[in-house]
Structure 1
Amino acid sequence: MIDIHSFLLALGIGNIAFAVLMAGYTHGAAPSPGLRLWMWARFGIGLCQLLGWSRPYLGVPSLNGIEGAGWILAVSLEVAAYCIFFGFARWQRVLLPVSALALAIVLAAGSAGTKVAYLNALVAMVVALFAAAMAWILLRPKRRASLLQRIIGVNDAVFAVSVALWGASFLGSETVLGQRAAHEYAYIAGYLLMIVNGFGFLLLCKEKDDAEMARLATVDSLTGLPNRHAFLERAEYARQAALRQRQPLALAMMDIDHFKQINDRFGHATGDEALIVFARTVRETLRAHEAVGRLGGEEFAMVLPGTDLAGALAAAERLRRAVREAIVITSGTPYTMTVSVGVVVLDPNETLGMALARADHALYEAKRGGRDRVEVGRLQRRA
């Protein structure tokens, strides 16, 4: 049998220790509102558990309502932390009214001298509801959850069920486990919640930070397109796949015409806007398996797997026309831009660098021929 009273003391100390550990982790780091809220939620839960442990020694009836209100506030903060972490836009519209209503009911029940058993049952049901909400956030079906998220979500679901059974036992309801067992399993679930969610939320933050670092290392910050390194890596993978499967592979080099004049005439902010508009136009024009990257400045490259010369020319012309129709907003009159494109089809005997060099030469010919046009790069055969 578990000594529930001593176990409650261990849980309280453990949750406060987690909160202090998180405070040390976040000190001096980039602000993370979700992690900060989670830290305060753990601290609040720990205080509530210590208050529950000390109740028999203090003998103050009003502490029952205060402890219950503390539980409502703490679990509300934890739900808010998850909502912020996962980017819920309007979570306040639901969470704040529900939390305020639950808090008002618990405080009113405590002030009215409601029996401790009934008050405990009420608080347990509210905590179970919030734990179920956290499980839903992590496991909701329309979102692909990572293994870590599923582990935390299942743990929240188990805790919600355990606490609900615990609350029902206070009302004298017959539970599958029995009253004593319901209490023990609820405390064991609380212990698992402390360990799994304690480390889990920190690992979720690290997982998110790692993903952001990987994104920053491969994505151009202005246009959102793959940067030079990421594009060349993907293009090389496509080249090797084309050789294995004996499929054609087309490449293109693109350059916004008279880009320096855009900067000189309208300013660099408009030049940046032109790059953003161009990148958006390319994304909207290309098919799903085709890729484009920013190599630097106003120079872009495109890889078109499974595409022969006729298909590449059609894609390049489609893109050229779309760019002409795109509008760049300036401080004065709207500006339209054009693009020159050099297209090649990979030869099995050439490297990616050689193919891109041919495409770049074709791009130069397109500019020399008047710009706003597509040119095909010719393969130089050795004698």
Structure 2
Amino acid sequence: MNEIRAFMLMLAIGNISYAVLMAGYSRTGRPDRSMKIWTWAKLIEGAGFLAFWLRPSLPPATGVLLSNGLLIAAAVGEALAYTTFLGYRWQRGLLGLFILGEGLLLATVAFDASAAQRVLLMSLVLATIAGLNGLIMIGTGPRFSLLRCIIGLPNLLVAFAFFWRAWVASGSGLDVYTPSPSQTTVYLGAYFLLVVNGFGFLLLCKQKDEARLRELATTDSLTGLANRHCFLAEAERAQAQARRLGQPLSLLMLDIDHFKRMNDGHGHAFGDRALQVFAAAAGAALRRGDLLGRLGGEEFAVLLPATDAAGAFALAERLRRAVATAALEDQGERMALTVSIGVATLGEGDGIGTALGRADKALYRAKRAGRNRVEQAEDPLDRAIA
């Protein structure tokens, strides 16, 4: 009995310590809901093991309800943290699982179940939740990773240990404090789960934070497009690849027509919506591999790998038509949204900055020619000959 109580005290201290660690980490960056839920789950789990350690000195019914009830709540809380982290909407299902588990626990007290019957039933409940947690993390999909697998496997091992303990309890008078191989496996598994999942989930949250920072550094927050820095960096890489493979590379410069008038006349919120509608319409008109970026204000650029002058002009026309047919409304009134485009294909010795400059001059020719049109930049070779 003392050996098992010592395990419970270690698990209580360990879980509470991890909760404090996660709470401290969450204060260093942007608050994350899944991390908060996981922190509370670890705190509740620590309180549950502490209640198990104190149970011999508590009234029997209070000790049973408090210790088991807290562990069920913690296990479901951990599942909620995982599903929230992964973007799954399982709140109602997990609430149902929590109510079912707590209801079964209350039934064991109300109907004065034996110690072995309580061990059997609670082992099955906790095995089910631990197994679900393992499957959530290991489950394949676009966000599957080795780290998720490392977190999920200990949950499956703990689920197996709880099922084993349930099987032993079904055929013997096993009490929660009775020493046995199945009991030892459960508590060792719980300790292993504490260590691996503690560091594992912390690393998952750190990876998510780093990915968010990378996105903030490369993405325009309003439109979701590549920002100026990201676009220019990608353009330099695309130029190096085009030279290596001997392929053409073209660029488009785009400017939304009458955007200042639109922004001033209908408000900045409408202007923001116009930028978002434009970005969605233009992005839908492009091919996979093309890159649309926002350079600033209402100015955008498109990178067209493996595309010659004729192909770039045709694609620019398609993009112009897509924007002109985009749905932009203000208080039920349909508003015109058009774009002027300059097209440039990189010539021999051209840099990205030079090509963008030529595309920009073509763009302003399109503006002067009446807007809502595409103009081809002057070929640098023709200009040199002239």
Give your verdict on TM over 0.5: yes
The aligned counterpart of 2:143 is: 144
> Cα distance, 1:343 vs. partner?
0.7
Would you say 1:157 and 2:156 are equivalent positions? yes
Distance 1:49 1:272 in 2: 53
Distance 1:346 1:269 in 2: 37
Distance 1:30 1:225 in 2: 22
Q: Structure 1 unaligned segments of length 5 or more: list them.
A: 174-178
> Cα distance, 1:195 vs. partner?
0.8
Q: Deviations over 1:79-130 (max 9, x none)?
A: 11222222223x1221111210221111111232211122112111111111
The total of aligned residue pairs comes to 376
Task: Write the letter of the residue equivalent to 2:269.
Answer: A
> Cα distance, 1:66 vs. partner?
3.1
The aligned counterpart of 1:86 is: 86
Distance 2:284 2:337 in 1: 17
The aligned counterpart of 2:69 is: 69
Using the TM superposition, name which of 348-357 and 239-248 deviates more. 348-357
Distance 2:29 2:257 in 1: 43
Q: Is the 8 A contact 1:62 1:110 kept in 2?
A: no
Distance 1:303 1:101 in 2: 56
Q: Deviations over 1:31-73 (max 9, x none)?
A: 4332222122112211221222233455735422332222211
TM-score by length of 2: 0.92
> Which structure 2 residues correspond to residues 1-383 of structure 1 after superposition, within 5 A?
3-27=3-27, 30-56=30-56, 58=58, 60=60, 62-89=62-89, 91-172=90-171, 180-331=180-331, 333-381=333-381, 382=384
* CA spacing shift, 1:319–1:28, aligned 2, 3 Å: closer
Q: Is the 8 A contact 1:290 1:305 kept in 2?
A: yes
> Cα distance, 1:271 vs. partner?
1.2
Where 1:223 maps in the other structure, the secondary structure is coil
Question: Could you list the runs of 4 or more consecutive aligned residues of structure 1 that deviate by over 4 angstroms after TM superposition?
Answer: 27-30
Calculate the aligned-residue CA RMSD, in Å.
Answer: 2.0
Task: Write the letter of the residue equivalent to 1:287.
Answer: R
Task: Write the letter of the residue equivalent to 1:166.
Answer: R
> Cα distance, 1:249 vs. partner?
1.0
Q: Deviations over 1:211-248 (max 9, x none)?
A: 11111111001111000000111111111111100011
Where 2:380 maps in the other structure, the secondary structure is coil
Distance 1:110 1:88 in 2: 34
Distance 1:337 1:29 in 2: 40
Q: Deviations over 1:122-148 (max 9, x none)?
A: 111111111111112212123332222
* CA spacing shift, 1:327–1:14, aligned 2, 3 Å: same
Q: Deviations over 1:322-353 (max 9, x none)?
A: 11111212135210111111111111311111
* CA spacing shift, 1:27–1:295, aligned 2, 3 Å: closer
> Cα distance, 1:28 vs. partner?
7.8
Identity of aligned residues (%): 44
Q: Structure 2 unaligned segments of length 5 or more: list them.
A: 173-178
